[in-house]
Amino acid sequence: MPEQYQVSGKSAEAISESIESGIRQGTIDIGAHLPTIRMLAEILEVSPATVSKAYTHLRHRGLIEANGRRGTRVRHRPAVATPRSGLQLPGPADLVDLSDGEPDTAALPPLNVDICWVADRLGAPVGYAQAGAMPELTDAARPRLAHDGVPMANAAITVTSGTLDAIERLLTVHLRPGDAVAVEDPGWVNLFDLLAALGLRVVPMAVDDEGPTPAAMRAALAAGVRAVVVTSRAQNPTGAAVSARRADELREVLGGRSGVLIVEDDHAAELARVPLHCIGPVTGTWAFVRSASKPFGPDLRIAVLAGDEATVARVVGRMRIGSGWVSTILQRLLLRLWQDDEVTARVAEAAGRYDHRRHGLLDALQAHGVKAQGRTGINVWVRVPDEARAVGVLRDAGYAVAPGSLFRIEAPPGIRVTVSRLTDEHIAPLSAAIAGAAQPAGVATPSR
């Protein structure tokens, strides 16, 4: 393998630079397994300690990850620009792509009229000193969040450039490299990659339909985590939503853990059709993030961040010495979208479509005897004994799905199916194909 990928170097720095160059240029594949430390040391004629140091450096920078007994591999989203994507695989010309986890662009509200409205109301240019979270937007956000059950009585509020931007800033101002963060397992791959790039240690928490289990949360706290990230609704990839009972249980587990940062991610926002149940400021250090990307469009990079005064002040202060603020043009556009009854109706219609497609697939899978998760959101999670085989069988049947290895740490194997663009006509053949793909190797599967 080193010959194939031209890994070279006699020092840890040179070896890590060689591997990074291969990833960046695309000569080392995304997801590729790297040689064992001993094997690469023998080929390069260096000590195992030198290779180990190189691998450690690459892990801390978020380029590679330990993959248990299967060794070390390149992350599917390494923290360096690459020409390839882990899911861009060849397939039939009429392949139905259910792998991307994105909303249906046809269901998003149009922005052309709203942009004209914003342009008419921009007023005088904004200077550096005056820029920041727009009072009109935060004033409108506060009752919206309170209406959904977010504890806003003593909360501060600001805006960031999307959910991941908010989470990155929250973790950066509270934690240091090497600190442990509890995450859902299976969970959001982008979050895993962010934590790796920040040099933070991941502690997995098992998830059921009601969110992280109390036992898993308790174990994570015992492992010394300094932050916990929980998806409120439409969890990616399982569709879990924190129930009222589970929120009470998690608050009890977290009680007395002063200083542990709780981050609640409500990325589905207006698309969610189940009640929101917040864990809230039980530890005194908390944040609630609501993105505009899912309901209004991925290109609308803005999120509302609420939390305790000290946490929000840290985030705002860090922004001021970096990017500064979220464009007031985007802020005014979001405010306009919130105020538009037609947009509200269109988002509600999209939410209904997603529920219809998700329930349709879940019901069809149940009829085939296949257990799947998908309480909310745009994804369905299906346990399978062999991910590679399941993905291959479905590709041969004309459907691209995401392998569960992207989303798992310790959770059992599975596949993620995005339903946002699924049609009624696809549900029957897709469910039959998934039923075949979920069978152990050697069992006959239906042909396309």
- Name the pLDDT band for 84 (thresholds 50, 70, 90): low
Q: Is the pLDDT of residue 439 over 90?
A: no
Better pLDDT: 3 or 94: 94
Please list the residue range(s) of the chain that carry CATH number 3.40.640.10: 112-339
Q: Is the pLDDT of residue 2 over 90?
A: no
pLDDT in tens, 356-411: 999 999 999 999 999 999 999 999 999 999 999 999 999 999 999 999 998 999 99
- Name the pLDDT band for 86 (thresholds 50, 70, 90): very low
Please give the biggest Cα pair distance in the chain. Answer: 69
pLDDT value of position 3: 46
Buried b (16+ CB within 10 A) or exposed e, 156-168: bbbbbbbbbbbbb
**Cβ neighbours of residue 97 under 8 Å, at least 6 residues apart?**
400, 421
What tokens does 123 get?
Answer: 């007023």
pLDDT value of position 161: 95
What's the CATH number of domain 2-74, 1.10.10.10, 3.10.180.10, 1.10.20.140, 3.40.1280.10? 1.10.10.10
**Closest alpha carbon to 446 in 358, 372, 334, 368:** 368
Q: Is the pLDDT of residue 184 over 50?
A: yes
- Name the pLDDT band for 122 (thresholds 50, 70, 90): low
Better pLDDT: 347 or 123: 347
Q: Where are the beta strands (DSSP E) in 173-241?
A: 180-185, 201-208, 211-212, 227-231
pLDDT value of position 164: 95
CA distance 220 to 171: 17
DSSP 338-404: HH-HHHHHHHHHHHHHHHHHHHHHHHHHHHTT--EE-SSSSEEEEE-S-HHHHHHHHHHTTEE-EEG
pLDDT value of position 87: 44
Q: What is the mean pLDDT of the chain?
A: 90
CA distance 53 to 73: 15
pLDDT value of position 32: 86
Please list the residue range(s) of the chain that carry CATH number 1.10.10.10: 2-74
Q: Which CATH class for the 112-339 domain?
A: alpha beta
pLDDT value of position 77: 78
CA distance 448 to 297: 34
pLDDT in tens, 159-173: 999 999 999 999 999
Please list the residue range(s) of the chain that carry CATH number 3.90.1150.10: 96-106+343-437
| Cα torsion 85, 86, 90, 92: sign | negative
**Closest alpha carbon to 335 in 135, 112, 100, 132:** 135
Considering the entire predicted model, what is its pTM? 0.86
Alpha helices in 2-68 (DSSP H): 2-5, 12-25, 37-44, 48-60
pLDDT value of position 125: 64
Give the alpha-carbon dihedral of 100, 102, 106, 111, to 10 degrees: -140
What tokens does 296 get?
Answer: 């209004």
Neighbours of 32 (CB within 10 A): 17
- Is 320 within 8 Å of 347 (Cβ atoms)? no
CA distance 314 to 331: 21
96-106+343-437, CATH topology level: Aspartate Aminotransferase, domain 1 (3.90.1150)
- Name the pLDDT band for 117 (thresholds 50, 70, 90): low
pLDDT value of position 351: 95
Average pLDDT over residues 137-146: 96
